[in-house]
Amino acid sequence: MSNTMTAMVLHRLWVSFLTFIFVSFVVFAITNMLPGDIAEIMLGQAATPEAVAGLREAMHLDEPAILRFLRWLGGLFVGDLGTSLVNRLPVSEMISGRLGNSLKLAAVTTLLSVPVALLLGIASAIWRNSWFDRVVSTLSIAVISVPEFMVATGAVLVFAVYLQWLPALSFANEVTSFTQMLRVYAMPVVALSFVISAQMIRMTRAAVIDTLRTPYVEMALLKGASRSRIVLRHALPNALGPIANAVALSLSYLLGGVIIVETIFNYPGLSKLMLDAVATRDMPLIQSCAMIFCLSYLLLITIADVIAIVSNPRLRK
């Protein structure tokens, strides 16, 4: 790895770290700007001012906001996410099980959508302007135009209500066999894969077409190289960076789409836990869930940028 490439990778990692600090400040500030007093909500309307003041002191709510932010940020770096205000349980303990369910859903969706989307996107670029390209492009645009909550609701109406093939609710904790896994994950995965695959197809197609229009690819074509050799040996290696960005941006959509899908199917994931925390104003739990979503998005984008830097042939020497 050249010095220039190493410097660019280190710079990108430093920018990601600064972005994480900034995002943590924004999350902390927004959650603390929500109306109402947490101490009064926890104690109820019959609480005396002395009791409210004592609880605020016990929760360090009487301290300046900057000190509370620094204490919370320090806890994030050492894995101390605090204690739930509602359940009085460690936030890390509440998140651990739900995070596993969300990761399973994201993993199954990724394994299904990424290979199919890359294959269709590359094939559309190779045979651009053909009937195959027009069909794939039309279907991709049509799927992108439909929000995921409509896809999820339609799937429930068709497969759970009318056909009764699949359950309307996904009980991920009760999976004991492969058949049950298919029944539990079928509709949530399909609902998430629709929009993700469509976006990935469009971006992958554009990245490969841009590479196929470069002079060195045209020169290889003039020399008589086969179409498969041009794509596999010349186009794809140099389109790896844009394709990685396309995959990362599409997968980052999981962070927003999974909230709606988990709510519709009552899937016991991290997004459902965060929505429940918002309803009860459980600030430590809300902040921790939000930071996990932000960190996941930041990791995806950072990995894609590093891949784009490393795969750049001009920086290899």
Task: Tell me the CATH number at 169.
Answer: 1.10.3720.10
pLDDT at 177: 66
pTM comes to 0.75
Domain count, the chain: 1
One-character DSSP codes across the chain: --HHHHHHHHHHHHHHHHHHHHHHHHHHHHHHTSSS-HHHHHH-TT--HHHHHHHHHHTTTTS-HHHHHHHHHHHHHTT---B-TTT-SBHHHHHHHHHHHHHHHHHHHHHHHHHHHHHHHHHHHHTTTSHHHHHHHHHHHHHHTS-HHHHHHHHIIIIIIIS--S-SS--GGG--SHHHHHHHHHHHHHHHHHHHHHHHHHHHHHHHHHHHTSHHHHHHHHTT--HHHIIIIIIHHHTHHHHHHHHHHHHHTHHHHHHHHHHHTT--SHHHHHHHHHHHT-HHHHHHHHHHHHHHHHHHHHHHHHHHHHT-GGG--
pLDDT tens digits for range 24-50: 888 888 877 766 666 666 666 666 777
CA dist 174 → 101, 155, 274 (Å):
12, 21, 21
Q: Report, as ranges of residue numbers, the positions in the chain whose pLDDT lies below 50.
A: none
What's the domain range around 217? Answer: 92-281
User: Residue 182: inside a domain, yes or no?
Assistant: yes
pLDDT at 257: 63
User: Residue 48: inside a domain, yes or no?
Assistant: no
pLDDT at 39: 65
pLDDT at 93: 83
pLDDT at 308: 76
User: Residue 24: inside a domain, yes or no?
Assistant: no
User: Residue 49: inside a domain, yes or no?
Assistant: no
Position 6, amino acid: T
Q: Are the C-beta atoms of residues 241 and 208 closer than 8 Å to each other? A: no
User: Residue 158: inside a domain, yes or no?
Assistant: yes
User: Residue 181: inside a domain, yes or no?
Assistant: yes
pLDDT at 60: 66
